[in-house]
Structure 1
Amino acid sequence: MTFQPPVSLSEAEIAAVRGWVLAEDAHFLALNKPSGLSSQGGRIKAHTLDDLLWAFARSNGKRPHLVHRLDRDTSGVILAAKTKPAAAFLGKALAAGRFRKTYLALTEGPPDPPKGEVKGWLRRAEIGRESYMRVCAEGDPDAVVAHSRYRTLSASHHAAMIELQPLTGRMHQLRVHMAHLGRPLAGDARYGGPLTLAGRTAQRLMLHAASLSFPHPEGGERRVEAPLPEDFRALVAAGLGGGVEG
């Protein structure tokens, strides 16, 4: 009997997701997720990245499974495990804080100071059908600690490119922390971000998972990088003249 996956994908979808592969071996698959695609679940009746992983199913019905998630409008590196042992290993490494994630973001100007860390308490709030994270006091019900590092890479009168590193894994924490610093991310309407930058429309959340370093099941560490998507590059060119200075 021929194995039939539970999710039916079009040839175009299969070609697309296979074209997003950044690196892979027998244990993992790293993909460059586009903005606008949910990692899992979601209310939109469309295939998620988790559904699209059926494009990599083997004849025995086994297929990769996501190790972590990215917000729907965030682009960039996302990791999937190809086997159950790899999933267990990578899941434990993620929980132990052994993943190092680096994001790039655009804001209307640099934060003050231009680099530093943000550490404090957040709590989840539901407004209608949407979920938000809010800065709160340590003693608030359901408060969780969130810790991020940031660094301004390049800035002009119109925009700034910020490097962000989440040291904890809370929902929306980079977005909330930048808003807390008075520099919400471009295109982030949920947390008060500007919808235009240097006279150009920010058509989506300008947040990109640029690199991911993680321990490998066979030992050592792997680092995977995702190039900036075209819409991000266009806004960088408009606001910063196309350069990112280290």
Structure 2
Amino acid sequence: MQQLILEPPYPPRVVLENEDFLVVDKPPFLLSHPTRRNDRPSVLGWLGKERGGAPFFLVNRLDRETSGLVLVGKNAAAASALGRLMEKRLIDKEYLAIVRGKLACEFLQIDAPLGYLGLSAENPVAIRQGVRPGGAPAVTVIRALSSGAEVSLVRAYPKTGRLHQIRVHLASIGHPIIGDKIYGPDPHLFLRFAEQGWGPELAEHLGLPRHALHASRLRFRWQGKEWEAAAPLPLDLRGFLDQRGIAVPPG
């Protein structure tokens, strides 16, 4: 029986906190913020319940399927100031991703502008991005960590903050992220998933029920002090690599 996966596999946790902000390690399948439906769990909803209804303000957000670090302000002023740091690229972000294939080099920088592709027979997903000559500037640095016969673990450093940037850039060089329904082997799989849920056919094409992208590290300077938060690769992605004999480097 096909089943649409809605529940996160583990609870979120606070990994770093001071009087102005906190950093949450978000599991996959958890929204960053409530939607209009307001009946699905989110990071902000979880924090509200955990902290007696206190208001919180997202500084960055992750896609529902992406796991890892979310920076949250404890008040509007702190969130606004942290947001300005993000806009000025003064908050360093690192991601881990499992991609198809083996990279030809250990280091590369992808500098390719991104924009909406527009609906067509080839692109049935309205939100889908792609490399566009007139698109917004976008830069991602990629470092290969370890590889197997068919997949590789890479570290990604987005230098800009475009929609789906890492996913699009990796797909554009022929190394889409494992489990990516929009930028993987066929964007029509995204519509099939939305209509029918997860099942054996999608598992055969995608390998994982979510895209294998994890926000693993944040670094920034705040009030004269250097702050760093880290979140290890979660068990679902680690297990996928273990099954293929691919080592996860420490740190």
For residues 91 and 244 of structure 1, do their structure 2 counterparts lie closer, same or farther at Cα, with a shift above 3 Å needed? same
- Is 1:208 equivalent to 2:214 in the alignment? yes
| Alignment partner, residue 90 of structure 2 | 98
Q: Structure 2 residue aligned with 1:167, among 159, 174, 181?
A: 159
Unmatched runs of 5 consecutive residues or more in structure 1: 1-12
The alignment's C-alpha RMSD in Å is 2.7
Greater alpha carbon shift after TM alignment, 49-58 vs 220-229 = 49-58
| Alignment partner, residue 4 of structure 1 | none
Q: CA deviation digits over 1:90-145, x for unaligned, max 9?
A: 0111111101000001112222333210112111245467411111113xxxx211
Query: Is residue 160–residue 240 contact of structure 1 (8 Å, CA) maintained in 2?
Result: no
Q: Structure 2 residue aligned with 1:52, among 46, 54, 61?
A: 46
SS at match of 1:29: strand
Distance 2:233 2:40 in 1: 25
User: What's the TM-score, normalizing by structure 2?
Assistant: 0.79
Q: CA deviation digits over 1:182-214, x for unaligned, max 9?
A: 0000001211259769x9932211000010112
Q: State how 1:1-246 maps to structure 2 within 5 Å.
A: 16-17=11-12, 20-42=13-35, 45-57=39-51, 62-125=54-117, 127=119, 130-138=126-134, 143-193=135-185, 201-216=207-222, 218-244=223-249
Distance 2:242 2:57 in 1: 36
Identity between Structure 1 and Structure 2 (%): 31
For residues 180 and 200 of structure 1, do their structure 2 counterparts lie closer, same or farther at Cα, with a shift above 3 Å needed? closer
User: What's the TM-score, normalizing by structure 1?
Assistant: 0.81
SS at match of 2:94: strand
User: Displacement, 1:27?
Assistant: 1.0
SS at match of 2:174: coil
Query: Is residue 76–residue 226 contact of structure 1 (8 Å, CA) maintained in 2?
Result: yes
Distance 1:193 1:114 in 2: 24
SS at match of 1:163: strand
